[in-house]
Chain A
Amino acid sequence: MKHFFLASILAGALALPAYAADYTIIAPANPGGGWDQTARSLQTVMQQEGISGNVQVQNVPGAGGTIGLAQFASQQKGNPNALLVGGYVMVGAILTNNSPVTLNDVTPIARLTGEYEAIVVPAASEIKTMADLVEALKKDPGAVSWGGGSAGGTDHITVGLIAKAAGVDPTKINYIAYSGGGEALAAILGSQVTAGISGYGEFESQVKAGTLRVLAVSSAERLPGIDAPTLKESGLDVTVQNWRMVAAAPGLTDEQKAAVTADIEKLAKSAGWQEVLKTKGWQDTYLAGDAFNEQLAKDVSATEAVLKDIGLVK
């Protein structure tokens, strides 16, 4: 009996991904990234809080999430147990990749978390404030190189918005794209680029160690624990939030949609989820229902406008 018990635990551990799950969460990215971490945190908390007995996560990486989005929209149609993790980066990727499937083809449920952008320079840099950086940008836009994540992503969009707000032609910005905030970090620390831009979390430990200086953050209000002004205070009317959301499959009935929304609300309000937010350093930006749909529509049109300004979308 004892052996049987042990064996079944082992078999259970091995067969975990193969179980029939109450929810299947598609993370449209490779393991390790923000969407994957969000999906796996959802999995853990949903099981912990008894919202769902069994949850499995599937990675469908590629093209800023648009591959996972397209696959989700076609294969999961009408399936009330399938969820998709997505976010602001997907909004940009849908536009730049000219993706035939958009967020209108799925059922957005709620925004869960968000992160604000931070603009940093190495501690030794001559640039002390955002005003210094804007001045340099106005003098010669090409001479200010910005290191950040992939082209057309949140970082790139934010730089475009900053240039626009400063009255500089956004097509002239010298944006150096790296495959992720991490690789950009090395270039920033090594003073290969003038300034760096990414989610604050990427820079946090360097800022605390005093090797990087934060010039500004992209939130509407100052952020607790970060000694830096907002872009608005620096005279640039820009707020950007790199948010992450969860969506359900297309073609759900109203009852099914309500059931999923209720489950997600329960999750977002749970102690387990709040704990995850705290340890991961994610902001709680829970927003559901019509308010979320309105915000989403606003973000899509604003993003389209700036991507056209930068010249990434025609």
Chain B
Amino acid sequence: MGTLDFLLQGLLVAAQPMNLLYALIGVTLGTAVGVLPGIGPALTVALLLPVTYQLDPGGSLIMFAGIYYGGMYGGSTTSILLNTPGESSSIVTALEGNKMARAGRGGPALATAAIGSFVAGLIATLGLAFVAPYIVKLALVFGPREYFALMVLAFVTVSSAFGDSTLRGLTSLFIGLTLACIGIDQLTGQARLSFGVPDLLDGIEVTTLAVAMFAIGETLYIAAQGDKGPDKVEAVRGSVWMSASDWARSWKAWLRGTFIGFPIGAMPAGGAEIGTFLSYATEKRLSKHPEEFGNGAIEGVAGPEAANNASAAGTLVPLLTLGLPTSATAAIMLAGFQQYGLQPGPLLFATNPQLVWGLIASLLIANFMLLVLNLPLVGLWVKLLTIPKPWLYAGILLFATLGTIGANPSVFELGMLLAFGLLGYVMRVFGYPIAPVVVGLILGPLAEQQLRRALSISQGDVTVLFTSPIAAVLLLIAALAFIVPLILRARGRGEVLAQLAASED
């Protein structure tokens, strides 16, 4: 039987009324927890594991997959409307999405996020079905040196998200890199910059920092402005739906985001955030409207949201083919498999084809359900923006605090939330960009660990960093991305860049 037959058979399994119901419960719950900052899909699935003990394996795994996809979906809503990323992978969405929402274009932003997620989810799930075995081979070729090269590329390209002033952008980045050093060093087990505080031994939680910097900092900033700030946010300007030009600008970004997000999600040390960073940087480079970036460019929402959802499907590649969980949610889904005595791994496709293909098919169905669930809600969501400011920001504070406590019930964590909120406020007042701090916190440890692992394996021989073909190519692209704009700028032909972008097609 070919892959297609298996998939059709899987669709039959997933289309059974009870399984459809589980998928619906899953996506609804997932969207809800995605909206709440701090509470992620991982915690939800963990809470549900004992409840689903009585269900049949297929049904509960279908529900978990729905939660996973729904969580990726829901995170974008708060990012766009409230500038409060629900998950670390929707941080980039907040950059452009919130600017759009403030300019009365919240509807199109939500719509492009929803449709982009759908498109990406669809393509990536089909990718999971058809090319998983090949993708996983590619992912295994990635060792420490290749990952390090990928991180270098991410650092170079992400610098385009740093705003107008390079100095300020770099200052923010280095604040993030410093924060990233806090905690137990993974390779030697020594504590760094923890000052004897046990709560700091695990480092700083990315979601805590992101929620603090974006949501709390923003709230303090608005409150400090008092009545002087812009009087009223215009909730809807023009249509709630996407215009023809929105479509024209979104579809390529969706596809590019998908092709960036899926393989990176499938890599054991990739992670959803990196795909969103790379997608954002790509869109900014290729856009015909680079001046709109930072002020609400629709490509900057479409690309990263697609990348985010594609990498969610990518994560399932190593989980199903290697039994290798690469995210917290995947780890709990693995526990869910084991609960039924199933061991994901190279033999799962052979020993339990019905279950695997049922799961893949229900991902397709969950994806449709999410679109149906979310698109009609767009009109309702944007009404959130018309809530009077004091209420809205009080609500944001409440959700940010609840989410943080929900994820980690500790007074210290709450103290950090407030402290970083203050930092976010001060940085806003002095015009320093916020995103690079979070980027530094995410990429810093990854780059450092991979570099040190590579050097440790080679026993200190630096040349290994360049001798692998994949690493060499990635580093070359990074070097070009860094040098070419410098040369063009030095020649005083900034407009050449714009022309290059314009003559793309």
Judge: A and B partners, yes or no.
yes
User: Which residues from 179 to 220 on chain A have a C-beta closer than 8 Å to any C-beta of chain B?
Assistant: 179, 182-183, 185-187, 189-190, 192-193, 204-206, 208-209, 211
Interface centre among B42, B142, B456 (most CB of A within 10 A): B456
Chain A residues with Cβ under 8 A from B338's Cβ? 279-281
Chain B residues with Cβ under 8 A from A193's Cβ? 457
Q: How far is the CA of A31 from the CA of B340 in the complex (A)?
A: 18
Q: Are B50 and A43 in contact (CB under 8 A)?
A: yes
Choice from A176, A190, A209, A211 contacting B453 with Cβ under 8 Å: A176
Interface size of B as a range: 35 or more
Chain B residues with Cβ under 8 A from A152's Cβ? 189
Total contacts A-B at CB 8 Å: 146
Q: Are B269 and A32 in contact (CB under 8 A)?
A: no
Chain A residues with Cβ under 8 A from B269's Cβ? 183, 186
Q: How far is the CA of A96 from the CA of B194 in the complex (A)?
A: 14
Looking at B326-334, B375-383, B435-443, the stretch in contact with chain A turns out to be: B326-334
Chain B residues with Cβ under 8 A from A280's Cβ? 338-339
Q: Are A189 and B345 in contact (CB under 8 A)?
A: no
Q: Is B409 an interface residue (CB 8 A)?
A: yes
Q: How far is the CA of A120 from the CA of B347 in the complex (A)?
A: 19
Q: Is A63 an interface residue (CB 8 A)?
A: yes
Q: Are B198 and A66 in contact (CB under 8 A)?
A: yes
Chain B residues with Cβ under 8 A from A142's Cβ? 459
User: Which residues from 160 to 178 on chain A have a C-beta closer than 8 Å to any C-beta of chain B?
Assistant: 174, 176-177
Looking at B149-157, B244-252, B317-325, B394-402, the stretch in contact with chain A turns out to be: B317-325
Chain A residues with Cβ under 8 A from B334's Cβ? 32
Q: Are A150 and B46 in contact (CB under 8 A)?
A: no
Chain A interface (Cβ within 8 Å of chain B)? 13, 16-17, 30-33, 36-37, 40, 43-44, 58-63, 66-67, 70-71, 96-97, 99, 142-143, 145, 150-152, 156, 174, 176-177, 179, 182-183, 185-187, 189-190, 192-193, 204-206, 208-209, 211, 278-281, 312
Name 17 A/B residue pairs within 8 A (Cβ), A-sorted. A31-B43, A32-B328, A44-B53, A66-B198, A97-B198, A151-B189, A174-B457, A176-B456, A177-B187, A182-B324, A186-B322, A190-B142, A205-B348, A278-B341, A279-B338, A279-B340, A281-B338
| Other contacts beyond A60-B408, A62-B202, A192-B457: 9, CB < 8 A | A31-B43, A61-B408, A63-B184, A63-B202, A99-B198, A177-B189, A183-B268, A208-B345, A279-B338
Chain B interface (Cβ within 8 Å of chain A)? 42-43, 45-47, 49-51, 53, 139-144, 184-189, 191, 198-199, 201-202, 268-269, 318, 322-326, 328, 331-332, 334-335, 338-341, 343-348, 408-410, 453, 456-457, 459
